[in-house]
Chains A and B, each alone.
Chain A
Amino acid sequence: MIRFLIPVLIFLVLTGFLFVGLYKDPSLVPSPLIGKPVPIFAASTLRDAEKIITNNDIQGDYALVNVWATWCAACKQEHAVLVYFAEKLQVPIYGLNYKDDRASAINWLQQYGDPYVVNIFDESGRIGIDFGVYGAPETFLVDRNGIIQHKLVGIMTPDVWEKQFSPKIQQITSKVTK
């Protein structure tokens, strides 16, 4: 008798997990781009439409590429954290201004502070597609060879930084010094 109950018991456990899962945010997504180079792109910068930025301009021991837009409420939430990272921790953050309006994006940066080294202006979202962007905000960690090492879907928080990004960054920067 007992052995016939096994399937229903397993199913009940599974249902429990699924129920809990409903109220969680599946923020970490496996990205096919991890371990691959940053997609090739060339676009104008946000502040200066005449100036061209390409994938080769993302430089440094490591860098973050942050996808954001003024229409994205969650981006406003994470913005303060990014400003803090840029000012206090000197984290190099490249912005990918995604499907946005130039004037309102510049206005936003003036209002809330500008944590970005430079912003890629991706009005049509074409570059976003190559990055495999599901929606804003998303943050990519890129190493000095231009390889994407990590991807976060959702809001950057000090907690996420501690748990996901710091260890990764130590790992990739220590490799370089060897």
Chain B
Amino acid sequence: MVAEIGQFALVIALCLAVAQSIIPLIGAHRNNLSWMSVGRTAASGQFLFLLISFVCLTYCFVTNDFSVLYVANNSNTKLPVYYQISAVWGAHEGSLLLWVLALSAWGFAVSIFSRALPADMIARVLAVMGMIGIGFILFTLLTSNPFERLFPAAVEGRDLNPLLQDPGLVIHPPMLYMGYVGFSVAFAFAIAALLSGKLDSAWVRWSRPWASVAWVFLTIGIALGSWWAYHELGWGGWWFWDPVENASFMPWLVGTALIHSLTVTEKRSTFKSWTILLSILAFSLSLLGTFLVRSGVLVSVHSFASDPARGVYILGFLAVVVGGSLTLYAWRATQFTVGGRFELVSKETMLLINNVLLVVAMITILIGTLYPLFLDALGLPKLSVGPPYFSAVFVPLMLPLVVLMGIGPIAKWRRVPVKELFSQLKVFLLLGVALGIILPLAIYRDTTVMTTIGIAAAAWAILTALYVVLRLIVKRDGSTSIGKAYSKIPRAMLGMMIAHIGIGVFILGVVFTSAFSDQKEISVKFGEEVGLAGYTFVLEKVTGIQGANYQAMRGSVNVTKQAVPVVTLYPEKRIYTVQRNPMTEPGIQTGVFRDLYVSLGEPINDNEWGFRIYYRPFIQWVWIGTLLMAMGGLLGAMDKRYRNLSKANAKRNSVPHTTPT
């Protein structure tokens, strides 16, 4: 019964999405206010009914209703209740429902927080979001219905994939999806601007905070995924250049370009056509990611069960949405006026180069990811490119970007003398290079050219980011107190500083882990000492233990450093009872400067085991860095001028106003 209610709510949500995409659009065209206002009501209704639908599915999981096929396939009575809830999005059908729920949540948020926007603008934005909603709800209903019944009902469920039974995986997909579909808002704003033909830069100011928040979600989502891979896969790695990781990374790169180009368009009303294109591109890549994960065109650890019907549907949808919007773009973009002029050395140029580098990086990843597919389609022998390709092309592109990151924020709009930049930044250049040389030598007594360059880049990023904000406090005029000078700094600027510091911290982590990691994959007898990176590891014993829905062999590993005990780690090898899937649960001691990571392999005989030990310096900095980036983005999105937007816009309506830099 509950499953039928859920399904019915899904159908009602579809009807509301249809209303949301047609009526406001006609209203905006005819300038009919009551028709336009249908958008808001329908968006709220769509969200409400999708929420009902989602709650119904969750209810089926929690009550172990194995007469629902999806529940029977992905849950089990012995599964702890929190994993029964997260199992709702543990496979294709349910995660799609979560996806449409997230989409409607964004639509709902737009309808609430954009009351002060011109009615025709908001009507068009909601209509575009309604169309995307139709596409995905239909996809759910036609090819991937999570409420399908199973007759006769199963006695017991087949359990959730053990890889997904991890706290990191409980929140990773919702975050990622919020990020993916969040770009639909910026996309809808861009399309609404193209549709209305009002191509001034007003829509940019409304779109900017939405793009930032979506970017924050995506950043957190990707970071959680990487953190999960490190903790769960037992390989001690944090990024694998897996097609699905790439699928989430591409919209991230373009989203990063977008939030930077939005600044230029907002402040200088230039790059308009480019910003529109990036808005379309960011969401298109989200859709492409969905296609890659769910169609089975590429093989990946993440792939959902592939089904050609689903692939054809999403590809068709992709063609309509992306093809349609790019055609609309080609048709309208000719009408863009040229914005403020700028010279070769200026903030505009630097942000332009930033955008070009990020987009080129995205394209190289796209090519690398789809390379096997291209070759196959052309009938050539298959080849695939692995991490060496990505490192070889990605790092050289990112290096100038980091250099630019230090210069861009202090450069002036329109024109800035090179001399002025150099005199301000030479100290940091020297300091950065010095730290790049000294730090690795001081900590590890060893270095390589790439390590030095990497650390110098990280130091440069952090120091220049601090300088951008601190100079405003240091160079205040005598009458203002430090506190007052600080309070005058716009939040957007603080956000930028924190995000850029985050990038520096991230690079530090990446460079140190890749340069100074150490590992051993060996077989050991109980009590045998293994030395690694100055630590001594002893596998004392392996005992059997019984978990809630699994049995495990748990090793206890004593770690000492120069005979001083450091920690005892308990890596596990689990067998989940229902699916009989073996799982590796590494034992990890996390530290600020290094992680010790052990995982069990296979038993060789009664007192000898396969054993993997990893020493991972600075690895936590990778995630601390991404967290800082996300915090920075959030702070930027909460800037005062967006909060006051409602008041300002009520008066000025769509007339663009300039904000102090």
B-contacting residues of A (Cβ < 8 Å)? 1, 4-5, 7-8, 11-12, 14-15, 17-24, 26-30, 32, 37, 39-43, 52, 54, 99, 124-127, 129-130, 134, 153, 163-164
- Nearest-neighbor residue (CB-CB) of A163 within chain B: B381
B331 CB contacts on chain A under 8 angstroms = 4
A58 shortest CB reach to chain B, Å: 14
Q: Which of A1, A21, A127 contacts B602 (CB 8 A)?
A: A127
Closest CB in chain B relative to A14 CB, distance in Å:
8
A7-B329, A12-B323, A124-B575 known; A29+B384 contact, CB < 8 A = yes
Q: How far is the CB of A73 from chain B (nearest CB, A)?
A: 16
Q: B601: which A residues are within 8 A, CB to CB?
A: 39-41, 130
Contacts of A52 in B (CB 8 A): 605
Which residue of A has the minimal Cβ distance to B573? A126
Q: Which residue of A lies closest to B280 (CB)?
A: A7
Option from A7, A12, A19, A124 in Cβ contact (under 8 Å) with B315: A19
CB distance from A8 to the nearest CB of B (A): 4
Query: Would B297 and A22 count as touching, CB distance under 8 A?
Result: yes
Q: Please, which residues of chain B bring their CB within 8 A of the CB of A134?
A: 299
* Interface check B603, CB cutoff 8 A: yes
Q: Is the CB of A22 within 8 A of B315?
A: yes
Interface centre among A11, A124, A164 (most CB of B within 10 A): A11
**Complex interface: chain B residues within 8 A of A41 (CB):** 601-602, 610
Contact with A along B262-298 (1 / 0, CB 8 A): 0000000000010001001100100000010001111
- Please determine whether A26 and B297 come into contact, CB atoms closer than 8 angstroms: yes
Whether B373 pairs with A18 at a CB distance below 8 angstroms is: yes
B386 lies within 8 A of A11 (CB): no
CB A83 to nearest CB in B, in angstroms, measures 26
Looking at the assembled complex, report how far the CB atom of B381 sits from the nearest CB atom of chain A, in whole angstroms. 6
Question: Are the C-beta atoms of B373 and A5 separated by less than 8 Å?
Answer: no
Q: Closest 10 interchain pairs by CB?
A: A8-B326, A40-B610, A20-B377, A30-B384, A126-B582, A4-B330, A21-B297, A28-B382, A21-B373, A4-B333
Q: Which of B315, B318, B329, B384 interacts with A8 by CB under 8 Å? A: B329
Give the size category of B's interface with A. Answer: 35 or more
Name the residue among A8, A12, A37, A41 with the largest chain B CB count within 10 angstroms.
A8
Contacts of A30 on B, CB cut-off 8 Å? 384-386
Residue contact A1 to B334, C-beta cutoff 8 Å: yes
B602 A15 Cβ-Cβ under 8 A: no
Indicate whether A17 sits within 8 Å of B582 (C-beta atoms), given known contacts A7-B329, A7-B330, A26-B297. no
Asked if B319 and A15 sit within 8 Å, CB to CB, the answer is yes
B82 contacts chain A at the CB level, 8 A cutoff: no
Write 8 A-B pairs (CB below 8 A) sorted by A numbering. Answer: A11-B284, A22-B311, A26-B297, A27-B382, A29-B299, A29-B384, A129-B582, A130-B610
Q: Min CB distance, B613 to chain A, in Å?
A: 13
**A99→B575 CA distance, assembly (Å):** 13
> Across the interface, which residues of B come within 8 angstroms of A127, CB to CB?
602
* Nearest chain B residue, comparing its CB with the CB of A135: B299
Alpha-carbon distance A15/B148, docked complex (angstroms): 31
In the bound assembly, the distance between CA atoms of A54 and B323 in angstroms comes to 55
Residues of B with Cβ closer than 8 Å to A?
Answer: 235, 240, 273, 277, 280-281, 284, 291, 295-299, 308, 311-312, 315, 318-319, 322-323, 326-327, 329-331, 333-334, 370, 372-374, 376-377, 381-386, 521-523, 573, 575, 580-582, 584, 601-605, 610
Cβ-defined contact, B296 with A26, below 8 A: yes
Q: Cβ of A24 and Cβ of B323 under 8 Å apart?
A: no
- Bound form: Cα–Cα A126–B333 in Å: 57
Pick the residue among A17, A54, A124 that contacts B370 (CB under 8 A).
A17
Task: Tell which of B277, B308, B373 touches A7, judged by Cβ atoms closer than 8 Å.
Answer: B277
Contact of A125 among B382, B384, B581 (CB under 8 A): B581
Question: In the complex, A29→B370 CA distance in Å?
Answer: 12
Give Cα A52 to B606, complex, Å.
Answer: 13
Contacts of A153 on B, CB cut-off 8 Å? Answer: 299
Is B327 in contact with A17, judged by CB distance below 8 angstroms?
Answer: no
Given the contacts A18-B315, A40-B521, A125-B581, A26 and B329 also touching, CB distance less than 8 Å: no
What would 13 more interface pairs be, CB under 8 Å, given A28-B382, A124-B575?
A4-B334, A18-B318, A20-B376, A20-B377, A22-B297, A26-B296, A26-B298, A30-B385, A39-B601, A41-B601, A42-B603, A126-B582, A129-B584
- CB contacts (< 8 Å) of B603 on chain A: these are 42
Point out the residues of chain A lying under 8 angstroms from B374, CB to CB. Answer: 17
Question: When chains A and B are docked, how far (Å) is the Cα of A23 from the Cα of B377?
Answer: 9
Which of A12, A18, A32, A127 has its CB near the most chain B CB atoms (within 10 A)?
A18
Question: How far apart sit A153 and B384, CA to CA, in the bound complex (Å)?
Answer: 13
**A residues in contact with B277, CB < 8 Å:** 7
Give A61 Cβ to nearest chain B Cβ, in Å. 24
Closest residue to A134 on the B side, CB-wise?
B299
The residues of A that contact B297 with a CB separation of less than 8 Å are: 18, 21-22, 24, 26
Contacting residue for A39 out of B323, B377, B610, CB 8 A: B610
CA distance A90 to B273 in the complex (A): 64
Q: How far does the alpha carbon of A129 sit from the alpha carbon of B600 in the complex, in Å?
A: 12
User: What is the CA–CA distance of A153 and B383 in the complex, to the nearest angstrom?
Assistant: 13
